[in-house]
Amino acid sequence: MNSSSTALTAERHHGDGRPVRTYDVVALHVPIAYNEFGDHDRNGALYVLASDAPELREVEATWPVPFPSYLEHPELVPGPNPLARPLVLRVRRGERLRVRLTNELARPAGITLQGVRYDVRTMDGLAAGLNPDSSVQPGETRVYEWVCEHEGVFHFGDMSDARGEGTQSHGMVGAVVVEAPEATWTDPETGGPLATGLYADIHLADRSFREFVIFMMEYPSNDNPAVPPPMPGHGHGGGHDAGQAATAAAAGIYRPTASAAGSPAAGPGTSDTIDDLTPLNMAMLPVNHRIEPMEWRMHRYQQLLEEGRIDPVRDAVLGEEVHHSSWLFGDPSTPVLRGYSGDPTVIRLVHGGMRDTHVFHTHLHQWRLRADDENAPIVDSVSIGPQEAMTLELIGGLGSTQGAVGDSIWHCHMYVHFHMGMWGMFRIFDTLQNGTGGYPDGRPIQRLVPLPHREAPPVPTPERPGFPGFLAEAARFPQKNPRPPRTPLQPPGMGREPTPLEAAAFVEDPQPGEAFTKVGPPGAPVRRYDLVVTNGTVHYYGDPTDEHAATWHDHNAHFYVLAEEIEEAGGLEEFKRQLAKGERTLEPLVIRANKGEVLELTLTNSLPTGPQKDSAFDPKLPFQPECGLHTHLVKYDPLVSDGSAVGWNYLSATTTADQGAETNGQYNSWTYRWYVDEDFGTVLFHDHLLANYRQRHGLFGALQTQPEGAVWVSPDDHERELRRGTQAVIKTADGKAHREIVLAIGDFVPMVKHGHGDHGGPINPPPFPGAPDDQGSMGVNYRSAPLSERGGDPAHWFSSAVHGDPGTPLLRGYPGEDLRIHVLQGSHDLQHSFTLSGARWREWAGREDTAWRNQQTLGISNVAELALAPTLGPGDHLWSFGAANDLWLGCWGLLRLYGRPQADLPPLPGRTPDAPPLPARRRVRRHTVRARAEVIEYSPLRTDPYGLVFTADGDGGPEEGPLVLRCRAGEWVDVTLINELYGPPPASPLDPRLMNEADAGARTISGRVSLHPTLLDFDVRTDDGAHVGRNADTTVKPGASRTYRWYAAEPGVVLLRSHADVISHPRRGLVGVLVVEEADATPYDPDTGLERWTGERAVVRRPDAEPVRELVLVSQDGLRLYHDGDLTQPVTDLFSDSPDDAGQKAYNYRSAALHPLDPVLSDPEPPTPLLTARAGDQVAVHLAVASHRMRNQGFTVHGQVWDASETGLGWYVSTIGALASGSTRTVRFRAQHPGDHVYRTGNLHWGVSEGWWGLIRVEETP
């Protein structure tokens, strides 16, 4: 439902002649019902149109007190109000947006809008620094105005309340959508004018499109007095008992009460109170202020059983496999976004949450990272951080380029979030919906107006009712999703016969794996793979054939394997025996296909049947549910090849005997059909039916797509073509070749450790089986090399001379070759950061107009192609996932480039191994750096007595913050590092612990130090600042020195860290930055005006160019600070359910932590760095993430907009997110307006409150 209120548009601003679009908005308290089950926030807060406020005030006035329990009186539980939603304001590019905000809250409120430049002294919506307070006091009204110069979607929220659980957490967020100058917008259901709303039809002169605004939120308070009860045992076949364990296992989560987290439960609030100190209770992860968690659906399932409305045999489920079913439960409370097949569609995606980086994924649909660039990468999942917003224009519109119909889910790919309710659907119709049709559960199908400029869909008829009507003869509501019908060319016995309605809806000449959507053009070449899904023991670490060695393994690993591999092993049981004994190694299945090919894949389910035993990680499963093959990116028929059970679709998955003999005979194997219409690179596939259980056990794989005409051969024998493998040599039709390497990281892996003579124990188990807490271990390609097992001096952890080569993938090649690393995350919940020593690559592979990078952020389902610049020399290059826990648990390995030919590694065709020469040392800049122990004062009240710092020998100014060096592009940089430590620094038992670490005080901290750079060119054997593989030790012992020689080929931000101890040194402070300026640039001290090549601030001048005011920010987290340096008084961590939030945060050794009871940004002199500029100055902020933790960060500057590409490609933002350990970025803008501009993270929960904010002070131009 969209609002029918009308905005004023006739007025023109007296100063600039721009059209003015005006909205009257009210900030008010209103309880928000998130679903029909009683999940609600009694203390909700919203921005609403003034015209909608009376209805919402009535919601507040009639809200039941006490609130009824859904378990006792479901009829009394209020459902969601359509107007209780994030506020969306639309405006045309070039217009002036005017908002009259009336504050009905009991505390100040404001609007802080991104994507626009504005005067922060009057339009910032808060009190910041020396600025006047521009928030709105209770009972008052204030006018905000902004000029909207850039098309797109931009977040706004109430930053007058900077708490992690302030008004924004309670729902007070919105977005401005800036449309094209000629755009109009209408209601999709009525076709009439529309003032605002989450969903609209947008009309331009030559086209129209569906526009859906999706807000991803997190952790509002949940005041539901009812908790969904565990599902009791239910009959199935031989009487399997599902019980509570099955529910927990199928969901993989629980909804913790506050007491489970060790804090008192929250009591009900009042309409004028928002209590940021109330701990989260029954946490929610909404989209558009709605959730549909699995536990409540399972409670409804139990009710259906008790009412006798479903068949306990046919409809037996664990839970997760039908979480998204409309056939059992009807449609969810979360958004069902409707359109016709082929409708042009734009998603405006907004992160309105406080803390987590989410991974937004759409089934069936894809988009380009820049919609108007036909050569931009194509993706179907994206990591998005707090307060980020982005536009996703779906390629081919709804139903994608194949014109599919059916239900298509979109969701956060982090499975804990997915299962807590963060999902919705696209519903793609193929017949006209005029309001007279109905769904299988009897609900009416609302009217949907066809878009102008498009032919209207056909009117439904009894013979051809369209989706979902043609399923009417195959199923009756309520029931488990029906299984798909067979088509004529499928193997005999596969699938049931179609009903007359289904057969009439088939496409012409359906091929195996398609039925209702044609997949691929006629005559496309077909490549076939037969896959088997099964389980067994996978050894991640150690040699299982050595009875004296410790090993880490997963006894219940799940994986896809080619049927031919099982045949070669002598059958399934022999294959599994060889795995268990260590006679066979296993990696995630990687198959390949060329662009333009159709893949025909037959999956056979060989998972064990019957009850599945429990473990410290997994509750007992009473039976084996279905397993599917869900793919990303490529084209398919979503009704029969999605590998899922979504909405009113079929359940397109394979079965075991636990689903009954007849069903298993028809569906134990199923054929999926994929069309490779683009050279996507890496295409993830995985099970979608029990993903929260199986995927952390390793059930994922990848399809590597290639250019047309390519062939792939073994790296050690170029005449032997491959059927599978994570490493290959790709020969393309133009006679070229490259090495391709796939690295797939997984987390939450349920591993056990076995030592000599023991029975093993779980590694980092959850508090109880099925809990969502950070748990288990990690691996890359089912292997790990845990630093916790290496021991000794951390400086030598990566050394093959000391410890031997790691068991993780060894990537091999020769200098100068075309090397392409494909990274992906196959599981499960955490964010990761990939880096490679001595290497760099373009942000978009093959695009010289994109920025150089040395770091890639990944969330689950994210993929990236890293086409390495051909500058790597011989030696061992460390690849790693760089946060402390990733390294500690073994996510690292070696890229070994040989200086001379190896008998078992033929060079790429047409190439002779040769090391590219480094440039001549004509221009050399020299720095001297000292490493020493020093108490670091992060603020007047917080210090780190265990601090370690790099300091540069001065060149004319006082030392500020961490080490910052500068040089010019095209220069060699010689850095002499002097180690002034007296020996290994002491450990502290109060340091934040690592995963699988019993006592932080037992850590060994290295007394050796180093400087390890990113992005530069150098010889890794002599100048890497590490001890890696077979390379020499280039760390520096106490009392010694060493000179590193690096070449700065390109301008950029180089992160410097001590790799002599990757766990403790960066966290203690051994971090820094080298800024590579343009070749003709000179930096000057902003205070003295003298030339200066060190320091966090500079004025950079170039001939015939404007000077640039430059600030370097090094972000730090995972710190352990102490009150006034007292080692008995550590700073207490703020409440969090995640250990990844443990420790304090800072920029440049300084923290502007807020008091919990006074969370405002009005301090005119926060401890964090202050950059001063004058109105009109060019400003550059260089960001370097030296963080210890896996939690991603974001960055924003109030009242500023910049080019996110950094190279002039020109998509404009005010926030960048998904910044992970090792990330570097540069933000450039012109400081147009005087005043104090806040820079900060978007992570209000708990980044801003812990000190990640500061000021850029822009003064009037004289």
Q: Which string of DSSP letters, residue by residue, matches 1065-1106?
A: HHHHT-EEEEEEE-TT-EEE-TTT--B-SBSSEEEEE-TTS-
* Residue 895 reports pLDDT greater than 90: yes
Q: Is 1074 within 8 Å of 952 (Cβ atoms)?
A: no
Rounded mean pLDDT, 578-585: 94
| Range 845-873 burial, b when 16+ CB lie within 10 A, else e | bebeebbbbbbbbbbbbbbbbbbbbebbb
Q: Which string of DSSP letters, residue by residue, matches 220-270?
A: -----S--PPPPPP---TTT---HHHHHHHHH------GGGGTSPPPPP--
Q: Is residue 1045 part of a domain?
A: yes
549 band by pLDDT with thresholds 50, 70 and 90: confident
Count of C-beta atoms within a 10 Å radius of residue 480 = 22
Please give the pLDDT value at position 755: 66
Q: Is residue 539 part of a domain?
A: yes
| Range 106-123 burial, b when 16+ CB lie within 10 A, else e | ebbbbbbbbbbbbbbbbb
Place of tokens 């969502």: 772
Rounded mean pLDDT, 718-722: 96
* Residue 201 reports pLDDT greater than 90: yes
Distance between terminal CA atoms of the chain? Answer: 52
Please give the pLDDT value at position 12: 58
> Tokens in use for 421?
């309710």
> Tokens in use for 303?
């009710």
SS3 526: strand
Q: What are phi and psi of 564, to 5 degrees?
A: -65, -30
Please give the pLDDT value at position 744: 98
Side chain identity at 498, as an amino acid letter? Answer: P
Burial class (CB in 10 A: 0-12, 13-18, 19+), 1079: middle
Cα separation values, 1170 from 938, 1088, 1096, 1178, Å: 14, 16, 10, 16
Q: Is residue 275 part of a domain?
A: no
Q: Is residue 265 part of a domain?
A: no
Q: Is 193 within 8 Å of 9 (Cβ atoms)?
A: no
Say how far residue 596 (Cα) sits from the centre of its chain: 30
165 band by pLDDT with thresholds 50, 70 and 90: confident
Nearest to 279 by CA among 225, 227, 223: 223
Domain boundary, last residue among 880, 897, 914: 897
Please give the pLDDT value at position 264: 25
Q: Is 252 within 8 Å of 416 (Cβ atoms)?
A: yes
Q: What are phi and psi of 58, to 5 degrees?
A: -65, -35
Same domain, residue pair 148 and 98 = yes
* Residue 1180 reports pLDDT greater than 70: yes
Same domain, residue pair 25 and 145 = yes
Say how far residue 95 (Cα) sits from the centre of its chain: 34
| Cα–Cα–Cα angle for 490, 491, 497, rounded to 5 degrees | 60
CA distance 501 to 874: 65
Q: Which pTM value belongs to this model?
A: 0.95
Place of tokens 């850039």: 150
Please give the pLDDT value at position 237: 31
Q: Is 877 within 8 Å of 741 (Cβ atoms)?
A: no
Say how far residue 667 (Cα) sits from the centre of its chain: 34
Same domain, residue pair 501 and 537 = no
Q: Is 558 within 8 Å of 698 (Cβ atoms)?
A: yes
> Tokens in use for 925?
């800049």
Same domain, residue pair 887 and 936 = no
Q: Is 298 within 8 Å of 319 (Cβ atoms)?
A: yes
Please give the pLDDT value at position 547: 80
CA distance 43 to 272: 8
Domain boundary, last residue among 513, 534, 566: 513
- Average pLDDT of every residue of the chain: 92
Q: Is residue 559 part of a domain?
A: yes
Q: Is 879 within 8 Å of 894 (Cβ atoms)?
A: yes
Rounded mean pLDDT, 729-743: 97
H or E element at residue 299: helix 294-306
Q: Is residue 86 part of a domain?
A: yes
| Structural domain of 1172 | 924-1259
Cα separation values, 1065 from 939, 965, 1061, 1068, Å: 21, 19, 5, 5
Rounded mean pLDDT, 87-99: 98
Cα separation values, 650 from 403, 600, 695, 1017, Å: 18, 19, 22, 54
Same domain, residue pair 57 and 83 = yes
CA distance 676 to 687: 20
Please give the pLDDT value at position 559: 98
Using one digit for the tens of pLDDT, what is the confidence trace for 647-662? 999 999 999 999 999 9
SS3 344: coil
Sign of dihedral through CA atoms 284, 285, 286, 292? negative
CA distance 1071 to 1119: 13
Same domain, residue pair 436 and 324 = yes
> Tokens in use for 79?
């459902």
Nearest to 809 by CA among 742, 867, 861: 742
Same domain, residue pair 438 and 559 = no
Rounded mean pLDDT, 1040-1066: 98
* Residue 1051 reports pLDDT greater than 80: yes
* Residue 248 reports pLDDT greater than 50: no
CA distance 1227 to 1206: 7
Please give the pLDDT value at position 959: 73
Same domain, residue pair 532 and 507 = no
Please give the pLDDT value at position 174: 98
Please give the pLDDT value at position 271: 32
H or E element at residue 306: helix 294-306
Q: Is residue 131 part of a domain?
A: yes
Rounded mean pLDDT, 260-271: 29
SS3 annotation, 996-1031: CCCCHHHCCCCCCECCEECCCECCHHHHCCCCCECC
Q: Is 167 within 8 Å of 105 (Cβ atoms)?
A: yes
Using one digit for the tens of pLDDT, what is the confidence trace for 362-383? 999 999 999 999 999 999 999 9
Region of 10 (left: φ > 0; alpha: ψ -120 to 50; beta: rest) is alpha
Q: Is 287 within 8 Å of 211 (Cβ atoms)?
A: no
Same domain, residue pair 502 and 557 = no
Q: Is residue 910 part of a domain?
A: no
Instruction: Look at 227-231, 331-335, 869-873 and tell me which has the smallest mean pLDDT.
Output: 227-231
Instruction: Look at 226-240, 258-272, 276-290, 493-507 and tell me which has the smallest mean pLDDT.
Output: 258-272
Q: Is 816 within 8 Å of 913 (Cβ atoms)?
A: yes
Using one digit for the tens of pLDDT, what is the confidence trace for 525-542? 999 999 999 999 999 999
Please give the pLDDT value at position 986: 96
HSE toward the beta carbon, residue 663, CA cutoff 13 A: 21
CA distance 990 to 997: 13
Beta strands in 508-649 (DSSP E): 526-541, 551-562, 590-594, 598-605, 630-631
The order of strands in the sheet holding 141-147 is 45-49, 20-29, 96-103, 141-147
Side chain identity at 1221, as an amino acid letter? Answer: S
* Residue 131 reports pLDDT greater than 70: yes
H or E element at residue 298: helix 294-306
245 band by pLDDT with thresholds 50, 70 and 90: very low
CA distance 776 to 764: 5
Q: Which residues pair with 45 in a beta bridge?
A: 29
Please give the pLDDT value at position 1050: 96
Same domain, residue pair 995 and 1082 = yes
R_g of the chain computed on alpha carbons: 30
Please give the pLDDT value at position 672: 98
Considering its fold, how many domains does the chain have in total?
4
CA distance 853 to 847: 12
* Residue 1238 reports pLDDT greater than 50: yes
SS3 507: coil
Please give the pLDDT value at position 266: 29
Using one digit for the tens of pLDDT, what is the confidence trace for 1110-1119? 999 999 999 9
Count of C-beta atoms within a 10 Å radius of residue 265 = 13
Using one digit for the tens of pLDDT, what is the confidence trace for 935-945? 999 999 999 99
* Residue 1188 reports pLDDT greater than 90: no
Please give the pLDDT value at position 253: 27
Q: What are phi and psi of 169, to 5 degrees?
A: -65, -30
Using one digit for the tens of pLDDT, what is the confidence trace for 465-516? 999 999 999 999 999 999 999 999 999 999 999 999 999 999 999 999 999 9
CATH code (residue 1055)? 2.60.40.420
Kindly give the interhelix angle for 294-306 and 243-251, rounded to the nearest 10 degrees.
140
Q: Is 467 within 8 Å of 405 (Cβ atoms)?
A: yes
Number of residues assigned to the chain: 1262
Please give the pLDDT value at position 600: 98
Q: Is 1075 within 8 Å of 1139 (Cβ atoms)?
A: no
Q: How is residue 1140 annotated by DSSP? A: G
Domain boundary, last residue among 860, 879, 897: 897
Q: Which residues, other chains included, contact 475 with Cβ-Cβ below 8 Å and sequence gap of 6+?
A: 327, 440, 481, 482
CA distance 1040 to 204: 69
For residue 1262, cis peptide bond before it (omega within 30 degrees of 0): no
Same domain, residue pair 870 and 982 = no
CA distance 451 to 346: 14
Same domain, residue pair 759 and 850 = yes
> Tokens in use for 1180?
């550059």
Q: Is 995 within 8 Å of 888 (Cβ atoms)?
A: yes
